[in-house]
Amino acid sequence: MPRPGPLSLNTATVRERWGLAECVDGCARRGIPGISPWRDALADAGGAQRAARRIREAGLTVSSLCRGGMFTVVDATSRRAAVQDNRRAIAEAHALGAACLVVVSGGLPPGSKDLDGAREMVRDGLAEVLDEARAAGVTLALEPQYPVACADRSVLSTLAQAVDLCDESGTGMGVVLDVWQVWWDPDLARQVARAHGRIAAFQASDWLVPTTDLAPDRGMPGDGVIDIPRLRAMAEAAGYRGPVEVEVLSDGGGRVTLERCCRW
Amino acid sequence: MPRPGPLSLNTATVRERWGLAECVDGCARRGIPGISPWRDALADAGGAQRAARRIREAGLTVSSLCRGGMFTVVDATSRRAAVQDNRRAIAEAHALGAACLVVVSGGLPPGSKDLDGAREMVRDGLAEVLDEARAAGVTLALEPQYPVACADRSVLSTLAQAVDLCDESGTGMGVVLDVWQVWWDPDLARQVARAHGRIAAFQASDWLVPTTDLAPDRGMPGDGVIDIPRLRAMAEAAGYRGPVEVEVLSDGGGRVTLERCCRW
């Protein structure tokens, strides 16, 4: 396997054992130059400003902040709350100097079967916060998620949809290429090429065979069936020069260690 | 919910309790005009000829036979075996007078990460048996499966791929619209329209929230989040006039009864 380029540790990979402070120290100790915190890790570390200072002092780059989005809601009150939360997320990403804010769209609102309507809510929600993101210099990085998440978490299912939204919106938006979410897509090569210059983050984990549980059952890069170097090459051909974020959501214990992240 | 049109009972829906004989009797008793057997049910009933006689005597229509395919293999021996098995499946579908043979492509061969190569194997395998299917008057009905099945069971993940293969192959191929497999697809309406005249079967079950297990955790139509009437309307607009096959793969017990299939 070719060298995967500079690494960034997504804090969710080691969340069972480490808070933000341990992640920062671990990255510094192991020579991992980047970090990608989740917002709960910031909160646990005393907020974005304190976290930003700690990360900066350790000399780490913030490749992304996870996450904003969740625009698919049942009523106007929830909608206002979602927009407010995205504003806070943009401010946190700005404080961290993060390259982007990962946006997960949200699934079907409870009780709804209106998939087109939910996708419309995502478009509207993004439009509502985009100017603020532009002003803060924070790219809204749309993450298409595996269709199995369509009902619960992400009505944005394909890279094609994400690139379409970028095309409609002009500057300020990009896409996240999380290989676990998109590796199956028969249209992937074409869509990655379409995303030229707009890939804001590249996240690596692997699809295990068998995969028995859907959210947390990801494998370490190299342990599964995804041809990650091929996807990385596609991303680089499409102008991506950023790090490989190792984001292995897993309850499997044991499988995930910082040492293995470094070796990969 | 509008009346769903004539029903067909897919034998996998009640496989935990009923063999083919009980399915046939149950359909006749409940006024369900169609049946869609799996091949294991034929084998258990003494083979395709005996099963065909029993089904015919009960006055039932065979909407599909499940299943052929599984063309993604590791070596020439396995490939010959797969082709032979598809020949047997075509003969069985012919004996039953089935409207089509459902084809599930197969996943990645063990140890492989070559998704394009696996998709090529599917194309080649279909080409090898297509003339025989045409001669037997059996439509090869390609079933795109939920991307979660990509590694294990189906590198054919989208309706777009299935329609592309139909376009390449000329007559003798069609597609299966299994709502559980494709409901999430943002490109679905366009692809169903493209499939005009080539939808060979329409299968209904529902996506439950939460879905905790992937293969067997389907819901009865109406219990989940899929807008089935909308998908049915798309299929009818694309010329489909066949029955709704109720195919609810579920280990949930209790949820699935023939009475509920009828009521739906």
Q: State whether residue A28 sits within 8 Å of chain B by CB.
A: no
Q: Is residue B1 part of a domain?
A: no
Q: Is residue A78 part of a domain?
A: yes
Q: Is residue B264 part of a domain?
A: no
Q: Is residue A120 part of a domain?
A: yes
Question: Best mutation site among B1, B105, B108, B113 for testing chain A: the one with the most A CBs within 10 Å?
Answer: B113
Residues A45 and A47: their CA atoms lie apart, in Å, by 6
pTM of the model: 0.92
Task: Please give the residue range of the domain that contains residue B161.
Answer: 7-256
Sort out which chain B residues have CB atoms less than 8 A from A151's CB and list them: 184, 207, 209, 211, 224-225
pLDDT tens digits for range A210-231: 887 766 678 889 999 999 999 9
Query: Among residues A149, A151, A152, A177, which one has the least CA distance to residue A162?
Result: A177
Give yes or no for residue A5 having a pLDDT over 70.
no
Task: Say what the pLDDT of residue B250 is.
Answer: 76
The per-residue pLDDT of chain B, averaged, comes to: 92
Task: Say what the pLDDT of residue B138 is.
Answer: 98
Task: Say what the pLDDT of residue A212 is.
Answer: 74
Judged by CB atoms closer than 8 Å, whether chains meet at A151 and B225 is answered as: yes
Give yes or no for residue B2 having a pLDDT over 50.
no
Q: What is the mean pLDDT of residues B91-119?
A: 97
Number of neighbours of residue B206 by Cβ within 10 angstroms: 22
Work out how many domains chain B is built from and give that number: 1
Question: Best mutation site among B184, B191, B209 for testing chain A: the one with the most A CBs within 10 Å?
Answer: B184
Number of neighbours of residue B109 by Cβ within 10 angstroms: 17
Q: CB within 8 A of B204, min separation 6: which ones?
A: B4, B179, B221, B228, B232, B244, B245, B246, B247, B264
Q: Is residue A255 part of a domain?
A: yes
Q: Is residue A1 part of a domain?
A: no
Question: Best mutation site among A158, A225, A226, A230 for testing chain B: the one with the most B CBs within 10 Å?
Answer: A225
pLDDT tens digits for range A147-200: 999 999 999 999 999 999 999 998 999 999 999 999 999 999 999 999 999 999
pLDDT tens digits for range A191-205: 999 999 999 999 999
Sort out which chain B residues have CB atoms less than 8 A from A158's CB and list them: 185-187
Amino acid letter, residue B92: E
Task: Say what the pLDDT of residue B254 is.
Answer: 44
CATH number for the domain that contains residue A225:
3.20.20.150
Cα–Cα distances in angstroms (integers) from residue B76 to residues A75, B104, B155, B191, in the given order:
58, 20, 19, 34
The interface predicted TM-score of the complex, written ipTM, equals: 0.90
Q: Is residue A227 part of a domain?
A: yes
Mind telling me how many Å the CA of A184 is from chain B's nearest CA? 6
Sort out which chain B residues have CB atoms less than 8 A from A152's CB and list them: 209-210
Q: State whether residue B249 sits within 8 Å of chain A by CB.
A: no
Give yes or no for residue B252 having a pLDDT over 60.
no
Sort out which chain A residues have CB atoms less than 8 A from B221's CB and list them: none
Q: Is residue A148 part of a domain?
A: yes
Least confident of A45-49, A250-254, B183-187: A250-254
Q: State whether residue A229 sits within 8 Å of chain B by CB.
A: no
